[in-house]
């Protein structure tokens, strides 16, 4: 047998990816692997003799590096003797300060760290992350690339990202020789959008360092580390070479964060039978030992592999927490595509989004996915409104700000013009007016003209040969009337002199002042403390461009031609064919259209025609004392010669009622007002007449729209509020006369 429901689910996007059962010997196990070593630390005479299942003679490069630089033996005896569960509870205890946990972490071995993190459930991990984040306020990083390596589009996107509040942005290259051009476009664009945004260009280390020395980029996060020796060596590095490189970058005033993440060891074939979380604990121990201020982790490019095994998403959150516990800045992944399923992807995101990390993503694609040359982009330009709405829903700051379209267009155009000027001044191949225009308004690079790529790379080589630097960029901007952008680019050069952003979790404010874990630390100790989204920032993040003022949603009835005229108080009729049409207090007055946007005059006309077609005689009354459709209809029925009435609420909901029924009972209820047409109301009128004359009546067929409520509940609420505002308590119903002849 085959279930049609199973078949239907098998076609969902989720099923494009594979889930596998754990294979510990291949490292395909998220956490608490059966082969993970027992945590231990043997110390004799001030020297480490054993760690996590190995004698010192058997230590690999990772063990050796961690023992040499990453363990505080004065803390170790205290910390290693603590109960795993006691440590785990301290991680979520708001009364245990972050500083105490960081102190203890200095004496814990990787196996112990992984073991303790493995004891936390997802909500506990989120609380721990919120508490352990190094910098007070969360932030975000953007990815800025495009397939044509168009400098105008790079600059425009960088400016948009900066204006939206990203504190860092990263570009890369399709063709390596483009690097200086892309770095310049990113620098100019970012500083046009907001002074102080830090930029990087992910390329090979030598080239990267060269760009940094010239002041074209300010940070690097290309320094990858791995959790087993064979994978580290296959990556053509050792902990010492990576640590040396980190110091080399810092010596040139470049902010550095290392990169690690679960899954890479399994993917590269040498997980040595250990769990992903344990191997990541080894990576993070190396990162701290190397003296990196921070790390980009959270599985990064292997995220789909980690999420293929049970508990993968939890392990990824666990590794972010672990990094924060080790006092490292955390750029917490969410950049590579995690899943085909929007639901699953978003569910995974919440682990970092809700607690907040130093950089909630290590690269939010500010351009559409097609232009993301990092290999996708988990969240991109098309997802921005969702991201902003989810921030607004949760009252959570995940580092992206809403900005009005016209303002962004101005920012984008200015950035494209600024980089056009810099290219001209530096003698680089010209950026055309068409490129500027399309970079400002276009969807992606496909809309832009092709550039002469051979000429571009030649010019890039020449640029490097000439020794062009950030100073030349500033001067070019100054000469072309972009004085403020020139000043911002120059300030990024001054930042390299003071080196303040070399401290943990540093970002630069628009005022040029560095905020890091040193001068703006996270001191969360429970409700009422730490970073809270409130005040001006909360007002800013609420103000999405598509938010409307409730009053605008309903329109203003002032000054419109009257649809009905009110007369005297209504009395009971005596015509047995009479069907009263009873409308609500605001009908055809304060409210003039139904929720389906039908004119109230047309609705009344259709209802009356239907009643006449059914052999009845319509009479209009307005019920003033209530807004509920059942009572409107029942009041009408009490006035009707036949005892039958059709009640109409202003939003279009209708009820056919009879005087002898209880008010909340009815003959027919028409609750799907968003779906009704004028014809529906005519049919309701016919049926009402049928009931009045005692004929057999088949109910008016109605459709169902399960999304009507989600789509229209706000309008429904506002319409009903206006109806209830029109209620006159205790007032009698009034005779009503239709005065307009509605256009059909």
Partner 1 sequence: MAFDPIRDYPLGARRPDLVTTPAGIPLDGVSLDALREGALAADEIRATPRTLRLQAEVAHASGRTQLAENLERAAELAAVPDDLLLEIYTALRPRRATAEELEAWAAQLDGFDAPKTAAFVREAAAAYAERGLLAHG
Among 215, 311, 377, 641, binds partner 1 (CB under 8 A): 215
Identify which of residues 40 and 484 has a Cβ nearer to partner 1 in the complex.
484
Residues in binding contact with partner 1, number by CB under 8 A? 75
**H-type alpha helices, 360-429:** 384-394, 405-425
In angstroms, the Cα distances linking 321 to 175, 237, 332, 425 are 36, 26, 10, 47
Among 500, 566, 609, 735, binds partner 1 (CB under 8 A): 500
Q: Is 362 a catalytic residue?
A: yes
Give the H or E element holding residue 584. none
**H-type alpha helices, 614-707:** 629-639, 678-692
Smallest gap from residue 474 Cβ to partner 1 (A): 6
Span of 203-211, 539-547, 616-624, 724-732 interacting with partner 1 by CB under 8 A: 203-211
**734 part of the interface to partner 1, by CB under 8 A:** no
Phi-psi region of 566 (alpha: psi -120 to 50; beta: other; left: phi over 0): beta
Which residue in the list 36, 52, 63, 141 is annotated as catalytic?
A: 141
Among 293, 308, 334, 594, binds partner 1 (CB under 8 A): 293
CA distance 326 to 282: 12
CA distance 633 to 661: 11
Smallest gap from residue 100 Cβ to partner 1 (A): 11
Smallest gap from residue 709 Cβ to partner 1 (A): 52
Binding to partner 1 (CB under 8 A) within 546-605 occurs at none
Binding to partner 1 (CB under 8 A) within 247-286 occurs at 247-253
Identify which of residues 289 and 416 has a Cβ nearer to partner 1 in the complex.
289
**246 part of the interface to partner 1, by CB under 8 A:** yes
Among 210, 221, 371, 397, binds partner 1 (CB under 8 A): 210
CA distance 291 to 66: 11
As beta bridge partners, residue 622 has 583, 734
Angle among Cα 105, 106, 109 to the nearest 5 degrees reads 75
**514 part of the interface to partner 1, by CB under 8 A:** yes
Smallest gap from residue 361 Cβ to partner 1 (A): 24
Smallest gap from residue 97 Cβ to partner 1 (A): 12
Among 37, 273, 499, 615, binds partner 1 (CB under 8 A): 499
| Contact of 111 with 39, CB cutoff 8 Å | yes
Cβ neighbours of residue 2 closer than 8 Å, sequence gap 6 or more: none
Binding to partner 1 (CB under 8 A) within 98-127 occurs at 99, 102-103, 106
CA distance 343 to 288: 34
Q: Is 170 a catalytic residue?
A: yes
Angle among Cα 693, 699, 700 to the nearest 5 degrees reads 105
In angstroms, the Cα distances linking 227 to 27, 129, 537, 580, 725 are 11, 22, 40, 80, 67
Site string for partner 1, 606-635 (x = CB under 8 A): ------------------------------
Identify which of residues 229 and 413 has a Cβ nearer to partner 1 in the complex.
229
What single-letter DSSP state applies at residue 138? -
| Contact of 352 with 333, CB cutoff 8 Å | yes
What single-letter DSSP state applies at residue 19? -
Which residue in the list 105, 150, 190, 296 is annotated as catalytic?
A: 296
Smallest gap from residue 477 Cβ to partner 1 (A): 10
**241 part of the interface to partner 1, by CB under 8 A:** yes
Among 150, 292, 299, 420, binds partner 1 (CB under 8 A): 292
Which residue in the list 280, 335, 380, 578 is annotated as catalytic?
A: 335
Among 147, 233, 554, 727, binds partner 1 (CB under 8 A): 233
**291 part of the interface to partner 1, by CB under 8 A:** yes
CA distance 167 to 474: 20
| Contact of 352 with 129, CB cutoff 8 Å | yes
Smallest gap from residue 395 Cβ to partner 1 (A): 30
Decide the pairing of beta strands 329-331 and 294-296: parallel
Smallest gap from residue 482 Cβ to partner 1 (A): 11
Smallest gap from residue 257 Cβ to partner 1 (A): 12
Span of 59-67, 86-94, 402-410, 561-569 interacting with partner 1 by CB under 8 A: 59-67
Cβ neighbours of residue 465 closer than 8 Å, sequence gap 6 or more: none
Binding to partner 1 (CB under 8 A) within 456-495 occurs at 467, 469-472, 474-475, 478, 483, 486-487, 490, 493-495
Identify which of residues 258 and 379 has a Cβ nearer to partner 1 in the complex.
258
Site string for partner 1, 294-333 (x = CB under 8 A): ---------------------------------x------
Which residue in the list 157, 160, 170, 444 is annotated as catalytic?
A: 170
Identify which of residues 98 and 412 has a Cβ nearer to partner 1 in the complex.
98
Binding to partner 1 (CB under 8 A) within 63-82 occurs at 64-65, 68-70, 72
Smallest gap from residue 304 Cβ to partner 1 (A): 29
| Contact of 364 with 404, CB cutoff 8 Å | no
Q: Is 296 a catalytic residue?
A: yes
Which residue in the list 275, 293, 362, 640 is annotated as catalytic?
A: 362
> What are the backbone dihedrals phi and psi of residue 615, each rounded to the nearest 5 degrees, phi first?
90, 10
Cβ neighbours of residue 670 closer than 8 Å, sequence gap 6 or more: 653, 654, 655, 676, 680, 684, 700, 702
Among 52, 149, 168, 237, binds partner 1 (CB under 8 A): 237
Span of 45-53, 212-220, 298-306, 445-453 interacting with partner 1 by CB under 8 A: 212-220
**H-type alpha helices, 555-703:** 600-613, 629-639, 678-692
Long-range pairs, 539-542, Cβ under 8 A, ≥24: 540/401, 540/402, 541/388, 541/391, 541/392, 541/397, 541/401, 541/402, 542/392
Cβ neighbours of residue 700 closer than 8 Å, sequence gap 6 or more: 668, 670, 680, 683, 684, 687
Listed in order, strand segments (DSSP E) in 260-351 are 294-296, 329-331
Residue 213's CB is within 10 A of a number of other CB atoms, namely 16
Binding to partner 1 (CB under 8 A) within 392-451 occurs at none
114, with CB counted inside 10 A (0-12, 13-18, 19+), is: buried
Span of 32-40, 288-296, 543-551, 735-743 interacting with partner 1 by CB under 8 A: 288-296
Which residue in the list 143, 634, 657, 720 is annotated as catalytic?
A: 143
Span of 169-177, 231-239, 658-666, 691-699 interacting with partner 1 by CB under 8 A: 231-239
CA distance 641 to 463: 93
Decide the pairing of beta strands 617-622 and 734-738: antiparallel
**523 part of the interface to partner 1, by CB under 8 A:** no
Which residue in the list 221, 229, 280, 435 is annotated as catalytic?
A: 221
Identify which of residues 237 and 380 has a Cβ nearer to partner 1 in the complex.
237
Among 432, 503, 525, 542, binds partner 1 (CB under 8 A): 503
Span of 13-21, 433-441, 502-510, 574-582 interacting with partner 1 by CB under 8 A: 502-510
Span of 202-210, 535-543, 608-616, 648-656 interacting with partner 1 by CB under 8 A: 202-210
Site string for partner 1, 1-40 (x = CB under 8 A): ----------------------------------------
Query: Which residues does the annotation mark as catalytic?
Result: 141, 143, 170, 221, 296, 335, 362
């Amino acid at each position: 047998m085959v279930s049609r429901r199973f078949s239907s689910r098998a076609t969902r996007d989720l099923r494009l990816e594979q889930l596998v059962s754990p294979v510990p010997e291949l490292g395909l196990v998220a956490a608490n692997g059966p082969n993970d070593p027992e945590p231990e630390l043997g110390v004799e005479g001030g020297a480490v003799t054993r760690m996590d299942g190995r004698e010192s003679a058997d230590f690999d490069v990772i063990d050796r590096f961690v023992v040499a630089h990453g363990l505080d033996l004065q803390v170790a005896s205290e910390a290693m003797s603590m109960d795993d569960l006691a440590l785990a509870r301290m991680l979520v205890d708001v009364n245990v300060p972050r500083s105490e946990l960081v102190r203890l972490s200095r004496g814990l071995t990787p196996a112990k760290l992984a073991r303790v993190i493995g004891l936390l459930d997802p909500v506990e991990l989120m609380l721990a992350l919120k508490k352990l984040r190094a910098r007070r306020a969360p932030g975000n990083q953007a990815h800025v690339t495009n397939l044509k390596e168009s400098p105008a589009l790079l600059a425009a996107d960088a400016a948009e990202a900066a204006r939206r509040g990203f504190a860092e942005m990263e570009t890369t290259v399709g063709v390596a020789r483009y690097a200086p051009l892309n770095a310049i476009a990113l620098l100019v664009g970012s500083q046009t959008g907001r002074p102080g945004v830090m930029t990087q260009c992910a390329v090979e280390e030598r080239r990267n360092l060269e760009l940094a020395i010239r002041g074209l980029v300010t940070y690097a996060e290309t320094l990858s580390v791995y959790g087993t020796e064979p994978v580290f060596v296959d990556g053509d590095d050792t902990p010492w070479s990576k640590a040396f490189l980190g110091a080399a970058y810092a010596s040139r005033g470049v902010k550095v964060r290392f990169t690690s993440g679960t899954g890479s060891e399994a993917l590269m074939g040498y997980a040595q039978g250990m769990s992903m979380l344990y191997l990541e604990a080894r990576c993070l121990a190396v990162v701290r030992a190397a003296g990196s201020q921070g790390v980009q982790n959270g599985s990064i490019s292997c995220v789909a592999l980690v999420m293929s095994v049970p508990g993968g998403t939890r392990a990824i959150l666990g590794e972010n927490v672990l990094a924060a516990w080790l006092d490292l800045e955390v750029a917490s992944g969410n950049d590579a595509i995690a899943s085909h399923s929007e639901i699953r992807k978003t569910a995974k995101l919440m682990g970092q989004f809700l607690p907040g990390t130093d950089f909630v993503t290590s690269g939010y694609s500010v351009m559409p996915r097609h232009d993301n040359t990092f290999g996708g982009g988990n969240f991109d330009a098309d997802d921005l409104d969702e991201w902003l709405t989810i921030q607004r829903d949760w009252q959570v700051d995940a580092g992206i700000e809403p900005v009005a379209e016209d303002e962004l267009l101005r920012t984008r155009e200015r950035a494209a013009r600024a980089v056009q000027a810099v290219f001209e001044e530096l003698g680089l191949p010209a950026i055309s007016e068409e490129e500027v225009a399309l970079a400002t308004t276009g969807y992606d690079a496909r809309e832009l003209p092709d550039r002469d790529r051979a000429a571009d790379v030649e010019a890039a080589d020449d640029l490097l040969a000439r020794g062009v630097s950030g100073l030349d960029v500033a001067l070019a901007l100054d000469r072309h009337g972009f004085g403020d952008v020139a000043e911002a680019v120059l300030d990024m050069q001054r930042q390299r002199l003071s080196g303040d952003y070399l401290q943990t979790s540093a970002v630069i404010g628009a005022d040029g002042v560095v905020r890091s874990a040193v001068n703006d630390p996270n001191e969360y100790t429970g409700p009422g403390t730490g970073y809270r989204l409130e005040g001006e920032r909360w007002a800013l993040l609420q103000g999405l461009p598509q938010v409307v003022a409730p009053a605008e949603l309903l329109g203003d009835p002032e000054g419109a031609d009257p649809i009905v005229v009110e007369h005297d108080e209504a009395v009971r009729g005596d015509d047995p064919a009479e069907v009263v049409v009873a409308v609500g207090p605001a009908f055809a007055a304060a409210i003039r259209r139904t929720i389906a946007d039908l004119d109230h005059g047309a609705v009344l006309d259709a209802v009356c025609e239907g009643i006449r077609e059914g052999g009845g005689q319509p009479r209009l009354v307005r019920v003033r004392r209530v807004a509920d459709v059942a009572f409107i209809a029942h009041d009408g029925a009490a006035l009707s010669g036949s005892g039958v009435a059709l009640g109409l609420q202003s939003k279009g909901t209708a009820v056919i009622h009879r005087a002898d029924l209880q008010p909340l009972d009815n003959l027919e209820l028409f609750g799907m007002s968003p779906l009704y047409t004028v014809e529906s109301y005519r049919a309701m009128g016919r049926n009402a007449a049928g009931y009045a004359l005692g004929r057999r009546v088949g109910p008016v067929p109605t459709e169902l729209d399960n999304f009507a409520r989600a789509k229209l509940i706000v309008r429904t609420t506002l319409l009903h509020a206006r109806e209830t505002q029109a209620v006159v308590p205790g007032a009698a119903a009034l005779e009503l006369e239709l005065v307009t002849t509605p256009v059909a």
